[in-house]
Amino acid sequence: MAGIRTGILKNYRRNQNVELCYFRMGAVRGILPGAPALCFCLHSSCRGEGQIPEMEEQAKKVSLYLECSTTALGKKERMCGYVLEYITEKGPATLVNYREGCGTYNREFLLGLAEALERIKTPCELRIYGQNRFVLCMLRDRLADWAAEDFMSNGKPIVNREEWRRIWEQIQKHQVNIELGEHAYSRWLLTEMEEKCRNYQRTKC
């Protein structure tokens, strides 16, 4: 199964000419352990144990790709899927995971982003790919200012305050690039989430 999934993912990789927005947040404040998850990578030990390996010190560059199953307004049941991809001395490692929730598009995207960030255990050069313009632009342009004000704006807590705080605790230890728009895994993630939603509806009947 691992080999098949890895092959499917690699078929969706493609070269893209993109303009990257670069910024750096704060200093390293430590590493929080991530929860275990299924891993579809090339490590023989992972294929046997079904767990993501800890990122080694040599694994400096990580790519994070996110998508939500729907961008509809308002609170709604939706899925957020993400792919974490990095290279180690042993070869490429890829983690795929999905979370379900009932919230706004921005909140569920933030929760998916926070969960993915918590799985990265060492500081790295991190590229974040996604289509949520508001979240990614605020991540680039406002997050550091919000953190300095305890995530308050005009005397009131910002929307999704705790989700933003959770992201800030993780992201400031990385050197981050933001890429907005459709990405290499967009169609694959959306197709996978659509299939998972159909299977869920069938089990309810």
Reported as a pLDDT band with limits 50, 70 and 90, residue 11 is: very low
Q: What is the domain extent for residue 105?
A: 2-12+25-204
pLDDT digits (tens, 9 = 90+) for 70-110: 999 999 999 999 999 987 778 778 899 999 999 999 999 99
Determine, yes or no, domain membership for 19.
no
Q: What is the pLDDT of residue 58?
A: 46
**In the block, residue with structure tokens 């379900």:** 100
Residue 50 pLDDT more than 50? no
What integer is the mean pLDDT of 191-195? 95
Determine, yes or no, domain membership for 192.
yes
CATH number at residue 50: 3.30.420.10
- Rounded to two decimals, the pTM is 0.71
Structure tokens of 72? 């509809």
Determine, yes or no, domain membership for 18.
no
Determine, yes or no, domain membership for 166.
yes
Residue 83 burial by Cβ neighbours in a 10 Å radius (0-12, 13-18, 19+): buried
- Mean of all residue pLDDT scores within the chain: 76
Determine, yes or no, domain membership for 78.
yes
Determine, yes or no, domain membership for 8.
yes
Residue 6 pLDDT more than 60? no
pLDDT digits (tens, 9 = 90+) for 136-174: 999 999 999 999 999 999 999 999 999 999 999 999 999
Determine, yes or no, domain membership for 17.
no
* Residues near 138 by beta carbon (within 8 Å), at least 6 away in sequence: 164
Residue 51 pLDDT more than 90? no
Determine, yes or no, domain membership for 182.
yes
User: Cβ(83)–Cβ(120) under 8 Å?
Assistant: no
- Residues 60, 52: Cα–Cα separation, whole Å: 16
Number of domains in the chain: 1
Beta strands (DSSP E) in the chain are 21-24, 61-68, 76-88, 91-103, 125-130, 152-153, 156-157, 175-180
Q: What is the pLDDT of residue 91?
A: 77
Q: What is the pLDDT of residue 13?
A: 37
- Residues 112, 67: Cα–Cα separation, whole Å: 9
